[in-house]
Amino acid sequence: MPNDVRLHSPAADRNRGPIVEQLRRLLPNAGLLLEVASGTGQHAAHAATAMPAWRWQPSEADDAALASIGAWCQGLPNVPPPLLLDVMAAEWPAPKPVDAVFNANMIHIAPWPVCAALMQGAARHLTRQGQLVLYGPFIVEGEGTAASNLAFDADLRRRNPAWGLRQLSDVLEAGRGAGLQLQSRISMPANNLLLAFRRGPGS
């Protein structure tokens, strides 16, 4: 359509259904969710439509993407305007507390310190029973890595040596450093994982 500012990711089209299916299983019936790195806005639009009792707050570090997110979510009463949010910032300009933080396909297309910053920020914003949910490809020690994921990893590192698929054990350690412990590990289509974290005892 003319003047359509919506960006489009074929991968988001493919994975949005399976992701929402698992979010419905993991999360309560209603709440406030902060999505970090909303990208095109396709996940926000689909999830907010499929989970109308949830208020879905999108965000992005790239202000050029905000118009796309807003266009995808236009007219959805449970999606506020997207926030400009830098994961590395000491304080996030986002609601606090939230019942869930969701992030898809970011930590492998960012320098490694972004993972720890995501964990720390989520821990600051989550309620005591809230969950951080991550989605994407990971390398799991002791388990075979799909050829497609190895090729993707090599391509990412060619594009930027600071990028690449992350070792699951390193991601879990970053979570523990923020007081978050893995509660669920779910195998997803196309050799991806969905990980759900909660606060550990005393955190």
Do 9 and 77 lie in one domain? The reply is: yes
Q: Which amino acid is at 31?
A: G
Within a domain: residue 118? yes
Give the residue-averaged pLDDT of 2-28: 92
pLDDT at 183 > cutoff 70:
yes
CATH number for the domain harbouring residue 6: 3.40.50.150
* Tens-digit pLDDT profile for residues 118-176: 999 999 999 999 999 999 999 999 899 999 999 999 999 999 999 999 999 999 999 99
* Tens-digit pLDDT profile for residues 47-57: 999 999 999 99
Distance CA 141, CA 136 (A): 16
Predicted local distance difference test score (pLDDT) of residue 203 = 66
Domain boundary among 32, 53, 86: 86
Do 78 and 119 lie in one domain? The reply is: no
Within a domain: residue 68? yes
Within a domain: residue 160? yes
Number of compact structural domains in the chain: 2
Domain membership of residue 125 as a residue range? 110-132+148-181
Predicted local distance difference test score (pLDDT) of residue 24 = 97
Q: Give the chain's radius of gyration (CA, Å).
A: 16
Closest CA to 87 of 129, 125, 55, 127: 125
Predicted local distance difference test score (pLDDT) of residue 200 = 77
pLDDT at 180 > cutoff 80:
yes
Task: Tell me the pTM.
Answer: 0.96
Predicted local distance difference test score (pLDDT) of residue 47 = 97
Within a domain: residue 27? yes
**Residues of the chain with pLDDT > 90: what percent?**
93
SS3 4: coil
SS3 194: strand
Do 69 and 125 lie in one domain? The reply is: no
pLDDT at 1 > cutoff 90:
no
Sole residue written with tokens 């926000």: 44
Within a domain: residue 138? no
Residue 130 φ then ψ, to 5°? -70, 165
- Confidence label for 2 from pLDDT (cuts 50, 70 and 90): low
Distance CA 30, CA 37 (A): 22
Sole residue written with tokens 């399976």: 18
Within a domain: residue 28? yes
Within a domain: residue 101? no
Within a domain: residue 96? no
